Amino acid sequence: MGTTRVGIVDYGMGNLYSVAKAVEHLGGDACISDKAGILASCDRLIFPGVGAFGDCMAALEARELTDFLRFAAQTRPFLGICLGMQLLMESSSEHGEHAGLGILPGRVLPFPTEILADAEGQRRKIPHMGWNELHQLIPHPMFAGVPQNAHFYFVHSFYVEPRHPDLLAGFSDYGFPFCAAIAAENIFALQCHPEKSGEAGLRLLGNFLAWSGNGGPSCSR
């Protein structure tokens, strides 16, 4: 069996080389590209991202990647990371209302103002940045060997609210429980950055290299 070829979607925003380095450390063949034709030749795809939702959607459209991503998310193992998870949703209220890829039913929201002060009255910082526990809610091949409540690294000011609870695979807490992982058929997505999350993150990425794309619930809308 040959080395698995992992396409990493390049639309000008994201920790592409950190992700590629982690994939190659785990024995995968990382291919960073903004060309649909090249990405289509890969066995599986990682969709990373950092930045503003609207700007990232515009960058995807400029590179003619939106239709390809909708197709690819149905045809091979697909991992969304951070903004790459948020862009899978139908919409975001970040700096106005923006349409997302609409691959999964849900929306992206800002952290509610009522959670910005903790029990001692200290103001929580936005973005939510640093290490936090990821609480697994379902058994899934992507979680194999990843300890329950393992710490992962987060950097985000907005969070995903899936429309169907069945999509929720894991949560974290920052004043309230928020969606930290989603599973839907051959799609798995994380609000955290596994490529920056030490041993637990590497284990999860290693699971992705071996994952057949089965194990998540239906993503029917």
91-92 vs 98-99, strand pairing mode? antiparallel
pLDDT at 151: 98
Residue 141 has what pLDDT? 97
Token pair 């599986």 in the structure block, residue? 44
- What are the helix (H) ranges across 41-183? 53-62, 66-75, 83-86
Q: Report which of 160, 191, 166 is spatially closest to residue 92, judged by C-alpha positions.
A: 160
Of 94, 179, 193, 219, which one is the catalytic site residue?
Answer: 193
pLDDT of residue 214: 73
Helical packing angle, 16-25 and 198-210, nearest 10°: 70
Maximum Cα–Cα distance across the chain: 57
For the chain, residues with pLDDT lower than 50 are 1, 221
| Per-residue pLDDT at 135 | 98
Kindly report the pTM of this predicted structure: 0.93
From the list 31, 82, 179, 192, the catalytic residue is 82
Question: For residue 216, what pLDDT is reported?
Answer: 56
Q: Can 193 be counted among the known catalytic residues?
A: yes
pLDDT of residue 122: 73
Q: Lay out the sheet containing 98-99: strands in order across.
A: 98-99, 91-92, 106-110, 158-162
Of 151, 156, 195, 219, the active-site residue reads 195
* Domains of the chain as residue ranges with CATH: 5-210 (3.40.50.880)
Residue 195 is a catalytic residue = yes
